[in-house]
Amino acid sequence: MNLHSSGGRQTVAGMLVTEMRERILNLEFPEGVALRQDSLAAEFGVSRIPLREALLQLEGEGLVTQTAHKGYAVSVLSLDEIREIFDLRALIEVDLLQRALPHITSEVIAAARQVLLQFDESLAEPTAERHWGHYNWCLHATLYTPAGRHRSLDILHKLHRNADRYLRLQLNLSDHNNARAREEHDRLITLCEERDNAEATRLLNEHILAARDDLLEFLSARRDQD
């Protein structure tokens, strides 16, 4: 795979970030696996300079870690760290929604419903778990963007990405039912349209923490088997 031949306006480092991030999220690069720069540079047909830039960005996103004398590896999150990610999500997202609600227009509601429709269509595909994180983020971000808190959104996006690889694993290997999440997303959009601050933020907090508890139960059982 030669990224130089991919063309386009995106930098080589940017393309590397996109490709490697997707492999991490899909668990093609499993947690804890070493990322050998010489092997990766040869595979992607790039020099080590843009590769190092990409690894630094992925480190900033929390997807890889660097250890002295060992180099880079895909990060491994403990159950406590995963719990913390969802707890932070709940704090930030409830705050963002409260700030966004007074500014949510009919156009925002229409955009959110369009994302939900695309979300539904993606779930019918054989590799639905690969699209879950993308559309889940798009839906939530659509509702929060009117808050105008771009730094909070940037931090939140990183939290979503770190949880995404574990959610994909759960969706792929378990009989996880998406119906509840779908109903909650639909209800959340309706509550935002009605500007029901109290009920919308209550539902959002419950939605995130329920997803946390389901994921932790799945991962705890899986890690006990390993």
Q: For residue 58, what pLDDT is reported?
A: 95
pLDDT in tens, 161-171: 999 989 888 88
For the chain, residues classed under CATH 1.10.10.10 are 3-74
| Amino acid 8: pLDDT | 47
Alpha helices in the chain (DSSP H): 12-25, 37-44, 48-60, 79-100, 106-122, 128-144, 150-173, 179-193, 197-225
Q: Which CATH class is domain 79-225?
A: mainly alpha
| Cα 22 from Cα 174, distance rounded (Å) | 21
How do residues 13-70 score in pLDDT, each as one tens digit? 999 999 999 999 888 999 999 999 999 999 999 999 999 999 999 999 999 999 888 8
What confidence score (pLDDT) does residue 49 get? 93
pLDDT per position as a tens digit, 127-151: 777 888 899 999 999 999 999 999 9
Q: What is the pTM of this model?
A: 0.86
CA 54/CA 44 separation, integer angstroms: 12
Say if CB 165 and CB 27 are below 8 A apart. yes
The CATH 1.20.120.530 domain(s) of the chain lie at 79-225
What pLDDT, on the 0 to 100 scale, is given for residue 180?
85
User: Is residue 217 a contact partner of residue 209, using CB atoms and an 8 Å limit?
Assistant: no
Class of domain 3-74: mainly alpha
